[in-house]
Structure 1
């Protein structure tokens, strides 16, 4: 009989596809540590199967469109509609079919480490990606909704590798000024891998920008609140006033 340590070392080298067989072999081992290990493996296998099912759903819209002969599908999303400072940032991403994006999700549901992991993978492997912004001044001039649409238009125009999408999957919004077939999906960043990818690219881009602004104006906590109206942010506004990057239209009633 192998020791618990030896069994755990063996299991650590096995793939999740082998877990059912391992659990069956270990089920007769009465040692508490081994039974606990079996329970852990069963939970991990179940969680993996649920994630596989979620990933199938994440490609539902893309697969349906591709079955109709539509090849270049761009997911679109934006970040930064709610903050008091900085631009709204949009991204358009056409995912490739060869890269494994297993685990991709709405950027808000990922850790910063996971977002950066997927960001690098998307930038390196996507068929194309584009980033568009609308500044704080443009937000003040044309309002946040119109500025968001402007950023999205710019993201499509900025798609690299000279690619032009055949279809757009857009999180919630409809963009009338883009002459490309499109589908707006409520909570699309939770339902489409392409939109989730766009949300990741947009968020990492904007978070990096807010880090840069934080270095110039360190008294507002932009490195942690990303420009949202936290207590620290409002405290900074009371003490130091608005920076050149604040959205004046968002702070009309601030005292």
Structure 2
């Protein structure tokens, strides 16, 4: 090809599958070590791109098949964030995605970096037919318990979707049955299998994390910006030292609490 190894590496690094096929044929007789390594690196990169494209397509296809089994096409995916923290609300996200465009990077929110979650959540909010995040506050979790709080939050989320003029045929929930809606379909590990549930998990996580960072400004002793209300050693030590705030779940803190100082 008359190109230096560096030039070939650059072209291979930028090549899509069609361009790579042409380059690979042109380089078949080039025995330079750097070229052979660059060809293999490009092959691995494109294989990863292809696998990710297929993974994303399967997220959309899986939930569409679930909807089709029930004679519907409009899907709302729901997922909860913040079931286990000592402080802060329970958050339930609900997202209704169109079939197109496919949102790149959708996955279980726990599998993504904070930066990736922020980016993907922004795309979801732009392309979704509608979305919402509903909260159940700590005092209400203490009063009603977690199961009732989950049912309440999920129902609020579905109601918000319908108030926006979108009427789901299928309500997809991550995890075990809650029997909160006649349209409910439960998918264990739904945030890794269903596009709309993954989107709901990401949006709920981003929104709740941002809320906890705002609470960190109000209650700086508790390190909410880093622990997000979960039982980190620093958070537990702060509870022991300063007591509970109004956003703490009293029923979750009985092992190490004193009377609230707030």
**Both proteins in one fold, TM over 0.5:** yes
Aligned mate of 2:151, from 140, 149, 152: 149
* 2:179 counterpart of 1:171: no
The Cα shift of 1:49 comes to 2.4
Q: Deviations over 1:138-190 (max 9, x none)?
A: 11011112212211111111226321211111001433232x41211111101
- Counterpart residue number, 1:232: 234
Q: Partners of 1:4 and 1:235 in 2: how far apart?
A: 57
Task: Quote the Cα distance in structure 1 between the aligned partners of 2:165 and 2:102.
Answer: 23
Shift of 1:33: 1.7
Structure 1 residue 206 displacement after superposition: 0.4
Identify the range of structure 1 (123-132 vs 2-11) with the bigger mean alpha-carbon deviation: 2-11
**Paired residues of 1:133 and 1:155 also in contact (CA < 8 A):** no
Q: What is the match of residue 63 of structure 2?
A: 62
Compute the TM-score of the two structures, normalised by the length of structure 1: 0.92
Query: What is the rounded CA distance, in whole Å, between the counterparts of 1:16 and 1:112 in structure 2?
Result: 30
Q: Given the alignment of the two structures, is residue 100 of structure 1 paired with residue 102 of structure 2, yes or no?
A: yes
Match of 1:127 in 2: 129
Question: Which range is displaced more, 145-154 or 61-70?
Answer: 61-70
Gaps of 5+ in 1: none
Tell me the distance in 1 between the aligned counterparts of 2:110 and 2:22. 36
- Which of these residues, 193, 206, 210, is aligned with residue 191 of structure 1? 193
Q: Is the 8 A contact 1:131 1:154 kept in 2?
A: no
Aligned to 1:158: 160
Q: Deviations over 1:92-143 (max 9, x none)?
A: 1110122121321111111111111111111111111122111101110111
- Tell me the C-alpha RMSD between the 2 structures: 1.8
Counting matched residue pairs gives 254
- Against the structure 1 CA distance between its residues 26 and 239, is the aligned structure 2 distance closer, same or farther, given a 3 Å change threshold? farther
Deviations 1:1-34 (A, max 9, x none): 2112222332344224432432333232222221
Given candidates 99, 108, 111, the residue that maps to 1:109 is 111
Q: Taking structure 1 as reference, are residues 104 and 39 closer, same or farther at Cα in structure 2, changes over 3 Å only?
A: same
Q: Is the 8 A contact 1:84 1:251 kept in 2?
A: yes
Q: Corresponding residue for 1:10?
A: 11
- Give the direction of change, closer, same or farther, for the CA distance of 1:197–1:236 in structure 2 (3 Å limit): same
Is the contact made by 1:62 and 1:192 (CA closer than 8 Å) also made in structure 2? yes
- Asked whether the equivalents of residues 76 and 171 of structure 1 are also in contact (C-alpha less than 8 Å), the reply is yes
Structure 2, unpaired ranges of 5+: 258-262
Please give the secondary structure, in 1, of the residue aligned with 2:220.
coil
Distance 1:189 1:114 in 2: 15
Q: SS in structure 1 opposite 2:104?
A: coil
Query: Separation in 1 of the partners of 2:216 and 2:17?
Result: 43
Q: Is the 8 A contact 2:67 2:170 kept in 1?
A: no
